[in-house]
Amino acid sequence: MSTSNIGAQSAETLTPPARRAIRGAFVGFFVDSFDIYLPVIALAPAMVYFFSPEIPASTAAILSAMAFVATLIGRPLGSIIFGNFADRIGRKRTTVTAVTGFGVLTLLIGLLPGYQQWGIAAVIVLIVLRLLDGIFLGGEYSAANPLAMEYSPKEKRGFYGGLIQSAASLALVAISLLTLGLLLVIPAGDPNSPYVQWGWRIPFFVGAAMAFALALYYAYFVDESEVWRGSTKAGFPLKEVLSSDNLPSFLQVFVLMNGFWFLLYALIGNLPVLLPSVIGLSATNVTIVISIAWFVVSVVFIGIGVLSQRIGRRNTFILAGGISATAGTLFYYLLLNTSAENLLAVILLSVITVILVFAPGGLPTVYITERFRTSIRASAFGLGFSLAIIPPSFYAFYQAVLQNFMPSEYTVLVLVVVGGLLVLIGAALGPETKEVDF
């Protein structure tokens, strides 16, 4: 969906500042997610650039994973830091700072020398920069998403929340297709191959350029939230989020978002591995299948947001969590038992599986921002969205334990069941929010 035409159904209800804020949050979440996937998609074929030729494969795998995990660890820290600033000094100023910060860090990563120049220090610096990158990335959505929701009319918040969430799926499609296109024309392989030496840098430069353009857009075209301007400011927002008055609400969101991240890891952490190893797809077909599936999901997210506007966020989460744990698990199982020889069936089942498993994915932005009052909204949104990343991020360890009791390819189904049930339980523990006035 074009961000220049956010939605004909509600465009007439949006003021120009509201359109710019929502457009900015959509693009911001796209750029944020594009950056998140850089090490696992664009850099993965070139990680040998940062390693000694003698390094054991197990050590290389751990270091490669750390480049991604460091970003995940940084996100909650960024939400704490920048969520506090967004609540105290404003959403706009905080967004500009956070976006500029991860733009600079992404550019620096794209300029890094490799093992041949810096030795082991090259991969250490990469991991440190990704940690810092994660801090600024956690700050972007902590400020930009509440800003957009505060400008959205109450009767359309579900639609715009789903639209913003869809940007993350589109970013995965974009980085996958960009990397595939580059690999087709810039070969990867040994440490001296063109992609390993310089081709991987192109997506990082693209990500940095998008970040700088976004920072300028916010600086010159997006207005500060009028809701925030008129609110009473909290002295220490994070302390209030964790106070006795708000802690039950935060813990309820934490349970729900743990389910969200379990479901996401069941897909982004497992599906790209299972499609070639279990089903037998080629690397090119894996990229094509995943790109189609996540593109379709980006549209479904908007529909989920609209549905929540009609039947309520709580009911939609409960319904979606139940679908994930049951139908999502069933279709994931059917997909894992499909042959690569029937590519059309693999594509169809992949699309259905991703839709059903990640049905709750369109709701976090609108739900969490409605769950907390204005004075602590950015801190609560950022921390509620990000802190829950940590327990599910050990999914590979959980699956390693489960392999003692079932075939390894089916351990992902347990993640789906757990994730769906946590979403369902977390939503059931909370109130309905769609009628909340900001």
What are the CA-CA distances from residue 86 to residues 27, 140, 179, 438 (Å)? 19, 10, 34, 16
SS3 call for 205: helix
For residues 211 and 245, membership in a common domain is answered with: no
398's enclosing H/E stretch is helix 395-402
The last residue of a domain, from among 224, 247, 274: 224
Contact by Cβ (8 Å): 388, 261: yes
Measured distance CA(328)–CA(61) in Å, rounded: 30
Q: What is the pLDDT of residue 12?
A: 52
Instruction: Answer yes or no: is 319 within a domain.
Output: yes
Q: For 320-353, b where at least 16 C-beta lie within 10 A, e where not — what string?
A: bbbbbbebbbebbbebbebebeebeebbbbbbbb
Chain-centre distance of CA 153, in angstroms?
Answer: 25
Q: What is the pLDDT of residue 56?
A: 86
**Could you give the residue ranges of the DSSP H alpha helices within 269-362?**
271-274, 283-311, 313-323, 329-336, 343-357
Q: Tell me the average pLDDT across 212-241.
A: 95
Q: What is the pLDDT of residue 156?
A: 95
**Residue 311: both structure tokens together:** 């039947």
Contact by Cβ (8 Å): 286, 276: yes
For residues 165 and 278, membership in a common domain is answered with: no
Q: What is the pLDDT of residue 115?
A: 92
Instruction: Answer yes or no: is 3 within a domain.
Output: no
Q: What is the pLDDT of residue 1?
A: 41
Number of domains in the chain: 2
293 lies in which domain range? 234-438
For residues 244 and 193, membership in a common domain is answered with: no
Residue 94: CB atoms within 10 Å: 28
pTM of the model: 0.93
The last residue of a domain, from among 224, 250, 284: 224
For residues 92 and 190, membership in a common domain is answered with: yes
Query: Which of the two residues, 347 and 68, has the higher pLDDT score?
Result: 347
Query: Which of the two residues, 59 and 355, has the higher pLDDT score?
Result: 355
Instruction: Answer yes or no: is 119 within a domain.
Output: yes
Measured distance CA(438)–CA(226) in Å, rounded: 10
Nearest alpha carbon to residue 164 among 348, 361, 424: 361
Instruction: Answer yes or no: is 7 within a domain.
Output: no
For residues 170 and 241, membership in a common domain is answered with: no
Measured distance CA(88)–CA(36) in Å, rounded: 27
| Residue position matching structure tokens 């729900």 | 256
pLDDT over 50 at 7, yes or no: no
pLDDT over 70 at 288, yes or no: yes
Measured distance CA(334)–CA(173) in Å, rounded: 24
Instruction: Answer yes or no: is 310 within a domain.
Output: yes
For residues 262 and 208, membership in a common domain is answered with: no
For residues 437 and 397, membership in a common domain is answered with: yes
Task: Say which CATH number the domain at 94 has.
Answer: 1.20.1250.20
pLDDT over 50 at 316, yes or no: yes
Instruction: Please state which of the ranges 41-55, 108-122, 198-212, 266-280 shows the lowest mean pLDDT.
Output: 41-55
What percent of the chain clears pLDDT 70, i.e. is strictly above it? 97
Instruction: Please state which of the ranges 12-26, 79-93, 330-344 shows the lowest mean pLDDT.
Output: 12-26
Measured distance CA(365)–CA(146) in Å, rounded: 8
Instruction: Answer yes or no: is 4 within a domain.
Output: no
For residues 47 and 177, membership in a common domain is answered with: yes
Instruction: Answer yes or no: is 6 within a domain.
Output: no
Residue type, 249: S
For residues 219 and 239, membership in a common domain is answered with: no
Query: Which of the two residues, 25 and 269, has the higher pLDDT score?
Result: 25
For residues 210 and 342, membership in a common domain is answered with: no
| Torsion sign over Cα 171, 427, 6, 383 | negative
pLDDT over 80 at 306, yes or no: yes
Contact by Cβ (8 Å): 65, 47: no
For residues 190 and 268, membership in a common domain is answered with: no
Contact by Cβ (8 Å): 314, 388: no
**Residue 400: both structure tokens together:** 């390693």
Measured distance CA(11)–CA(27) in Å, rounded: 18
Instruction: Answer yes or no: is 383 within a domain.
Output: yes
Contact by Cβ (8 Å): 413, 333: yes
For 147-201, the DSSP string reads HHHHHS-GGGHHHHHHHHHHHHHHHHHHHHHHHHHHHHHS---STTSHIIIIITH
The last residue of a domain, from among 169, 199, 224: 224
pLDDT over 90 at 409, yes or no: yes
Contact by Cβ (8 Å): 28, 99: yes
Count Cα neighbours of 345 within 13 Å in the Cβ-side half-sphere.
12
For residues 290 and 426, membership in a common domain is answered with: yes
Nearest alpha carbon to residue 162 among 180, 143, 149: 149
Measured distance CA(42)–CA(203) in Å, rounded: 7
